């Protein structure tokens, strides 16, 4: 028993708060300790933060790390502190004006651990991130070409190019190169490149300046803005008087820029937000859609007459006679009309295919443009040859294929138009997230006493840190922040997927984009622009959609050889049919009356060339991943990329942490038994005074319970505790009101020679049997009472484990808690396999053991001590209410902190991956069936042949069908079995 309680005392629980834990959001504000929340933003905006890394020796468990973290955070001017017990390190973010590195080091040593400052550990950041939009990519060959070109640049560390999102994510060393060189390298490969963002902490705004007459005025404004602290970069477009400003939102903001601009020219200049967001990615996407639409319409203008003259009017006697009228020798009016009309389609409207082919071939690769250019040129130039020969030879009756080239281009343009339309819909999840931010906000001006002086409606993009914003009922919260005044309920489902409205009162945090339901709130903006929760979720989803799933490598490998192989097959088809015709390998009756054997062979060859579609293969995986991750985000399941999505569908074993994962994560006192005559209020006052200095979650539960006996006070002051000692793994002792008080486990009592009566032993056994923890209390050397502390199970935990069993997924509990409590909790939820009293590294080892046994393992946890196991697992799932470290280490974040989302994540990944398989089957099956048919495999037996323009239409339809197949994932519904659990979850407080 002593050993079990000793192990229990070394568990650190990171999940505090109410019984139903509040979800963790990626960017909830953290205030410097020692500075009030209201003053925080002033401190943060006026001073720069510093980082310091310390080596901390002597820590043995997460409770040790907790005590170090607590001590550091008590110092004034500490923004944040993270203590890593596994690597014996502490990372501290602080304000140098309030505290210095030596003070922090001394504080760590005062807690009882040896601390050494690690020099230059964090100051030398050698990696910068930039995101770039790339226009003009058509298939995986294009994206591979760009990727290779970027990887060849010195200083580039990592590159991801996504065909579906038409974007690149580049990690590079800013000391060696800058993003302009990266843009130039992409342009050099033949694609249009647009910078989306640089760095992960930068916001960007586009302003239009009215009143500028000369370039000198623009340069003057640029210099004035450059002098502002926090401005990172300025881009100027003199033609439309536009200024693009990259800045750090914690140091400055757009209203500051406007003031500077308007003061620079003595009131002559006026600044406003550039219309339509300054021509961002969405505008570029819309422009691309319009371009394809215009090109398609223009191609129809020329192609329809070509089609009519070659395939319809030839059956109308009067018109046929006119078209067949000869001008020179055998040259007819119909041939001249078709030549004239198809030429603009081939060289003006189809110019994009020539430029695309040239750029691809220049870099030693071949893409879809090469196939289209070869096919249409073959048809067009053979037709030109036929027309010229007819004009010069008195007896030559040739057939032209002008309708083939023009109709091919028209159908391919239609396909590309439909494809970009469909691809735009795959990223609707991100667009919907970005649309959550309200367009306007009500800015309040307060006096020194906090009274409202004035209200002003502003564009929400002009909100800066420190602003006080008024949120009326039914309005969207305009920015991340905390409540200064008012009470209300806020619907956060659009961010977290949690349907239940969350109560908000003074001091509570709110997230931008959520909806205020009933009361009026005044909130103070703490995180704006790129720092907001919404922006970070969007960035996470965008990054997930950039990441390639391992299965994508299959398409990438095929794409290297696909186009050259198709060209060889096309040439072989033409040669085989041509030679067969020349040497009478088939009856002459097979040859249509309007052509000869050479023309028949040529049609087969062109059909093979244009029916093969590398696009469908390239889009099979990324479009499904895009839709899947977007749907996950809308359900409160953030999936960090294709790798996580692919691994999750194979999961057949899940390792659960206990505290904060299977249980609510908030221990509460459920029973008290006294063995001496004593007033319960006095008893708890002594315990609370003793435990108030402890960081242990059980201590917090006791202090919280003791407050119930002091209901007349909001924050009761406990009596002073003298000679306080924390005995790691055992408990605490101190002298309160001249009484020596000890609170801890059985080992603590035995070590201090305190007798434990049979009644107390019996109660300890009962509590452990009920999955509770027993805490013993002695006063002046005598055992006075026993407390039973329980951490209740999460609603629906048993049902979730049952559903997982039905899905053929094995469940295991791995916890640092004692064996009795762990087994009891496991029995309650229906899990047979239990590992208890496990240290963080032992959790990771258990995961590796299961992997070695052939399992694909998912780890579900919420604390710092779960991070090694989350990283070791095939799929790490972090409970959203957990710690930043756990969320960073995980592959999937469950925003609602609900266990049923584990099932949603696995089910969604299975559905997504089955969609990817279906896409591949369709894309490969289409090519495997289409190429032989186009090559004339059915012609000898059925007389069926595929004209090149129909082959082109089929090729265009294949990529559209793959994208549409992926889009069906948008209608994903989580398993019906979970609906009842959600209803139960709402009913339970």
Active-site residue set? 657
Q: Which of 539, 639, 689 is nearest to 911 (CA)?
A: 639
Contact 824, 45 (CB under 8 A): no
Contact 868, 886 (CB under 8 A): no
Q: Which two tokens stand for residue 47?
A: 């001073």
Alpha-carbon span 66 to 85, nearest angstrom: 9
Residues β-bridged to residue 502:
490
Contact 111, 71 (CB under 8 A): yes
Alpha-carbon span 560 to 84, nearest angstrom: 45
Secondary structure class of 245 (helix, strand, coil): strand
Cα dihedral sign, 572-574-578-581: positive
Q: Which two tokens stand for residue 655?
A: 């390792």
* Residue ranges of E strands in 832-962: 833-835, 857-861, 875-879, 892-894
Opening angle at CA 74, ends 710 and 773, nearest 5: 55
Q: Which of 837, 844, 832 is nearest to 820 (CA)?
A: 837
Distance of CA 93 to the CA centre of its chain: 25
Opening angle at CA 498, ends 495 and 499, nearest 5: 115
Please tell me the chain's helix, strand, coil percentages from 3-state DSSP, rounded to the nearest 5: 50, 20, 30
Q: How close are the terminal C-alpha atoms of the chain, in Å?
A: 33
- DSSP-assigned letter for residue 710: G
Alpha-carbon span 922 to 918, nearest angstrom: 6
Opening angle at CA 743, ends 741 and 744, nearest 5: 150
Q: Which two tokens stand for residue 859?
A: 């780890």
Cα dihedral sign, 346-351-353-357: positive
Alpha-carbon span 819 to 390, nearest angstrom: 95
Distance of CA 55 to the CA centre of its chain: 33
């Amino acid at each position: 028993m002593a050993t079990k309680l000793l192990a229990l005392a070394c568990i650190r629980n990171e999940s505090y708060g109410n019984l139903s834990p509040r979800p963790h959001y990626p960017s909830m504000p953290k205030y410097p300790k020692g500075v009030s929340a209201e003053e925080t933003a002033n401190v943060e905006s006026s001073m720069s933060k510093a980082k310091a890394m310390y080596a901390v020796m002597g820590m043995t468990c997460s409770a040790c790390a907790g005590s170090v973290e607590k001590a550091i955070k008590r110092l004034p001017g500490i923004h944040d502190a993270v203590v890593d017990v596994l690597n014996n390190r502490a990372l501290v973010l602080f304000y140098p004006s309030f505290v210095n590195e030596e003070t922090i080091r001394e504080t760590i040593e005062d807690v009882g651990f040896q601390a050494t400052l690690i020099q230059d550990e964090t100051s030398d950041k050698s990696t910068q991130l930039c995101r770039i939009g790339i226009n003009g990519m058509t298939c995986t060959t294009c994206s591979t070409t760009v990727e290779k070109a970027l990887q060849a640049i010195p200083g580039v560390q990592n590159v991801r190019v996504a065909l579906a999102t038409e974007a690149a994510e580049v990690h590079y060393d800013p000391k060696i190169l800058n993003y302009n060189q990266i843009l130039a390298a992409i342009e050099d490969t033949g694609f249009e490149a647009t910078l989306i963002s640089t760095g992960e902490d930068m916001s960007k705004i586009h302003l239009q300046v009215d009143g500028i007459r000369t370039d000198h005025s623009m340069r003057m404004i640029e210099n004035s803005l450059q002098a502002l602290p926090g401005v990172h970069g300025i881009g100027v477009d003199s033609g439309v008087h536009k200024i693009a400003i990259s800045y750090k939102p914690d140091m400055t903001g757009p209203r500051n820029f406007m003031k500077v601009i308007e003061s620079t020219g003595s009131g002559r200049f006026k600044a406003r937000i550039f219309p339509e967001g300054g021509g961002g990615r969405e505008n570029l996407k819309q422009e691309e859609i319009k371009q394809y639409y215009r090109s398609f319409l223009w191609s129809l203008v020329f192609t329809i007459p070509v089609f009519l003259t070659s395939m319809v009017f030839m059956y109308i006697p009067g018109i046929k006679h006119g078209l067949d009228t000869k001008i020179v020798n055998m040259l007819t009016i119909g041939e001249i009309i078709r030549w004239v009309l198809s030429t603009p389609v081939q060289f003006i409207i189809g110019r994009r295919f020539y430029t695309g082919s040239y750029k691809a071939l220049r870099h030693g690769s071949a893409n879809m443009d090469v196939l289209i250019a070869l096919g249409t040129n073959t048809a067009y130039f053979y037709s030109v040859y036929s027309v010229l020969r007819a004009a010069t030879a008195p007896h030559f009756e040739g057939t032209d294929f002008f309708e083939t080239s023009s109709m091919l281009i028209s159908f391919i343009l239609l396909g590309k138009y439909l494809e970009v339309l469909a691809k735009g819909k795959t990223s609707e999840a991100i667009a919907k997230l970005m649309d959550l931010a309200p367009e306007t906000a009500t800015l309040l001006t307060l006096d020194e006493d906090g009274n409202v002086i004035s209200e002003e409606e502003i564009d929400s993009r002009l909100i800066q840190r420190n602003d006080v914003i008024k949120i009326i009922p039914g309005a969207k919260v305009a920015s991340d922040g905390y409540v200064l005044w008012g009470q209300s309920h806020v619907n956060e489902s659009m961010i977290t997927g949690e349907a239940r409205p969350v109560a908000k009162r003074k001091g509570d945090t709110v997230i931008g984009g959520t909806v205020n339901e009933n009361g009026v709130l005044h909130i103070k903006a703490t995180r704006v622009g790129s720092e907001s929760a919404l922006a970070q979720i969007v960035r996470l989803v965008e990054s997930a959609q950039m990441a390639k799933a391992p299965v994508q490598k299959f398409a990438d490998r095929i794409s290297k050889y696909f186009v050259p192989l198709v060209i060889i097959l096309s040439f072989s088809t033409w040669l085989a049919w041509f030679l067969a015709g020349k040497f009478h390998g088939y009856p002459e009756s097979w040859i249509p009356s309007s052509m000869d054997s050479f023309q028949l062979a040529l049609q087969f060859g062109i059909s093979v060339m244009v029916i093969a579609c590398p696009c469908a293969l390239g889009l099979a995986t990324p479009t499904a991943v895009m839709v899947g991750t977007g749907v996950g985000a809308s359900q409160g399941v953030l999936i960090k990329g294709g790798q996580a999505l692919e691994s999750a569908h194979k999961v057949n074993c899940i390792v659960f942490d206990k505290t904060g994962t299977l249980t609510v994560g908030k221990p509460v006192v459920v029973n008290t038994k006294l063995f001496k005559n004593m007033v319960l209020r006095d008893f708890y006052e002594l315990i609370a005074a003793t435990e108030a200095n402890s960081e242990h979650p059980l201590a917090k539960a006791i202090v919280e319970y003791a407050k119930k006996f002091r209901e007349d006070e909001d924050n009761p002051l406990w009596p002073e505790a003298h000679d306080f000692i924390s005995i790691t793994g055992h408990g605490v002792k101190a002298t309160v009101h001249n009484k020596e008080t000890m609170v801890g486990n059985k080992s603590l009592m035995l070590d201090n020679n305190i007798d434990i009566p049979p009644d107390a032993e019996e109660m300890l056994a009962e509590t452990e049997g009920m999955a509770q923890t027993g805490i013993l209390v002695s006063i002046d050397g005598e055992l006075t009472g026993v407390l039973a502390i329980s951490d209740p199970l999460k609603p629906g935990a048993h049902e979730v484990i049952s559903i997982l069993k039905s899905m053929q997924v094995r469940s295991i509990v791995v916890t640092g808690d004692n064996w009795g409590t762990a087994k009891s909790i496991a029995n309650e939820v229906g899990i047979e396999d239990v590992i208890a009293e496990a240290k963080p590294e032992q959790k990771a080892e258990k995961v590796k053991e299961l992997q070695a046994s052939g399992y694909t393992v998912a780890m579900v946890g919420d604390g710092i001590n779960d991070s090694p196991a989350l990283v070791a697992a095939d799929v790490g799932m972090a409970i959203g209410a957990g710690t930043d470290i756990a969320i960073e280490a995980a592959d999937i974040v469950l925003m609602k902190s609900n266990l049923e989302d584990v099932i949603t994540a696995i089910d969604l990944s299975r559905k997504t991956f089955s969609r990817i398989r279906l896409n591949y089957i369709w894309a490969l099956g289409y090519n495997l069936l289409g190429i032989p048919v186009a090559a004339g495999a059915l012609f000898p037996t059925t007389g069926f042949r595929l004209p090149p323009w129909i082959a082109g239409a089929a090729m265009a339809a294949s990529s559209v069908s793959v994208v549409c197949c992926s889009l069906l994932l948008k209608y994903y519904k989580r398993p019906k079995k979970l609906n009842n659990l959600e209803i139960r979850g709402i009913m339970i407080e």
